[in-house]
Amino acid sequence: MSKQLRRDFLKTSATVSALAASGRFARGAQIQRKEKPNILFLNVDQLSIRAIGGYGCPGVKTPNIDRLMQGGTAFRKSYAPCPVCGPARTTWQTGRMPSEHGVVTNGPLMLQSLPDMGQWLRKNAGYKTYYTGKWHVYGRWAHESYYVLAEGTLQDGEAGDIPVTRSVEGFLKNYRDPEPFLLGCGLMNPHDICLWISQHGESELPLEWIRDELPPLPENFGNASPECETMAAMRKYNLNARNTKVWSDDMWRFYRWAYYRYAEMVDGCIGQILDALENSPHRDNTLLVFAADHGDTHGAHKGMLMKDNFYEEAVAVPFVCRFPGRIPEGRIDEETLIYGCDLLPTVCDYAGIEPPEHQRGQSLRPVLENGASLDREAVYSEVQVYGRMVRTDRYKYIRYQNNKTEMLFDMENDPGELVNLAYRSEFKETLARHQKLQDAFEASLIPKSKV
């Protein structure tokens, strides 16, 4: 922690202690401050939009995420800029695509000249910035930009999410500074499914009693045809292929069942955080943004595991915003296309400042508060360094460099992504349109290698 950050932290701690001792703030009392709202960015790891009760999944119970959705506005067409942890999280912080900030997969370091959300709001909007839990931005430590309340990246979600949740509860109960806060909270689950898969190489169910509890196989248990060569290869050569290639259909159902249980586990932590916010002095003056970095295939497209691909289960993610009295409650936006690049411009808009230059997203505030439409034809995603995805209102286009096969799906008539339309003559113009969209977007980016 820098000397300046440490001085600010000690000052904040002393103020909190003094006010708590004086009893000046009763439970639920509102704190007087300037118009800028507090911002709570609550994020989870590997939660597919297709594994949430409020979004229509019947096999999982997520009453607290559902409650969050009922108290705000949720987006249906919401996408990860990359369905991998590090790249997606770095995009959240910078507003730039992975090929620009440099974290194109887990491991490479981000471009150091780019400011992140914590630095930007602290410097330009007078926010006190805090973070707790999973960070996973390669090349920049969380404590360079935030006061870190609790570390969460070295533990699995089952053990680590509880202390992270407790740190948020304590913060919301005790924060009393007149300056607004930006608090980021990264919960791990349902990411623990990665560990679960690596531990299950048996061909049949290890627990016979659980058979009757297993959800059915998804309607898109089959695979797209024809499929990009890279995506087909992932099915054969991923790190856990030696396990899953011997799985029976019941084992695939078991995978689905386990994933839902991890989603329910993190939902409990989300409920505790919601309770803490609603019982705090910050309840009515806090913008809460909830999102996931990427999803998980959880049994769809047999043989495809977890993330790192462009199928909807892996790349479509929840995105919910709640701000009492400002954002409509109980609304699901079925039409607006959004992606992870939109987070930073939205946060900056609510903070009353311009975002950093060269943003690839837009502020969602006009959509959230006024029902406006974005001037946008598509959103984009990158994966495996050379993989690209374009999502328009109706279609999804996928291509990989050096692959002979491209993919085009009609998401209205084929939501399971089983029928590749790229080679049907009647879709020739649709294919060309999406190719041009990707080419134009790619040309607009400033790759890290060219900075």
What per-residue confidence (pLDDT) applies to 357? 96
Cβ atoms of 234 and 304 closer than 8 Å: yes
DSSP, collapsed to helix, strand or coil, labels residue 121 as helix
338-339 and 78-79 strand pairing: parallel
Helix axes 63-70, 249-278, angle to 10 degrees: 50
Q: What is the largest CA-CA distance in the chain?
A: 75
What per-residue confidence (pLDDT) applies to 3? 43
Q: Residue 351 and residue 342: Cα distance in Å, rounded?
A: 14
CATH, residue 111: 3.40.720.10
Structural domain contains residue 409? no
Q: Residue 164 and residue 293: Cα distance in Å, rounded?
A: 18
Q: Specify which residues 407 forms β-bridges with.
A: 398
Q: Specify which residues 130 forms β-bridges with.
A: 147, 183
Residue given tokens 């590749």 in the structure block: 420
What per-residue confidence (pLDDT) applies to 226? 93
Q: What is the DSSP string of 336-383?
A: --EEGGGHHHHHHHHHTSPPPSS-SS---HHHHHH----S-S-EEEEE
Structural domain contains residue 174? yes
Q: Residue 232 and residue 219: Cα distance in Å, rounded?
A: 19
Q: Residue 19 and residue 420: Cα distance in Å, rounded?
A: 62
Structure tokens at 224: 């797209």
Closest of 350, 365, 363, 42 to residue 185, by C-alpha: 42
What per-residue confidence (pLDDT) applies to 1? 41
Note down the domain range covering 357.
36-376
Query: What's the pTM?
Result: 0.91
Q: Residue 255 and residue 51: Cα distance in Å, rounded?
A: 13
Q: Residue 192 and residue 280: Cα distance in Å, rounded?
A: 31
Structural domain contains residue 27? no
Residues 6 or more apart whose CB falls under 8 angstroms from that of 34 comprise: 178, 180
Structural domain contains residue 330? yes
Q: Residue 49 and residue 297: Cα distance in Å, rounded?
A: 11
Four-residue CA torsion sign, 324, 330, 333, 338:
positive
How many domains in the chain?
1
Structural domain contains residue 209? yes
Cβ atoms of 251 and 202 closer than 8 Å: yes
Helix axes 249-278, 157-174, angle to 10 degrees: 10
Whether residue 226 is preceded by a cis peptide bond, meaning omega within 30 degrees of 0, is yes
What per-residue confidence (pLDDT) applies to 274? 98
Q: Residue 383 and residue 395: Cα distance in Å, rounded?
A: 18
Structural domain contains residue 283? yes
Q: Residue 126 and residue 283: Cα distance in Å, rounded?
A: 20
Structural domain contains residue 434? no
Q: Within 10 Å of residue 285's Cβ, how many Cβ atoms?
A: 19
Sequential pLDDT tens for the chain (451 residues) = 444 444 443 344 443 333 333 333 333 334 344 589 999 999 999 999 999 999 999 999 999 999 999 999 999 999 999 999 999 999 999 999 999 999 999 999 999 999 999 999 999 999 999 999 999 999 999 999 999 999 876 668 999 999 999 999 999 999 999 999 999 999 999 999 999 988 888 889 998 999 999 999 999 999 898 999 998 888 877 656 667 778 999 999 999 999 999 999 999 999 999 999 999 999 999 999 999 999 999 999 988 888 899 999 999 999 999 999 999 999 999 999 999 999 999 999 999 999 999 999 999 999 999 999 999 999 999 998 899 999 999 999 999 999 999 999 999 999 999 999 999 999 999 999 999 999 999 999 999 877 6
Structural domain contains residue 55? yes
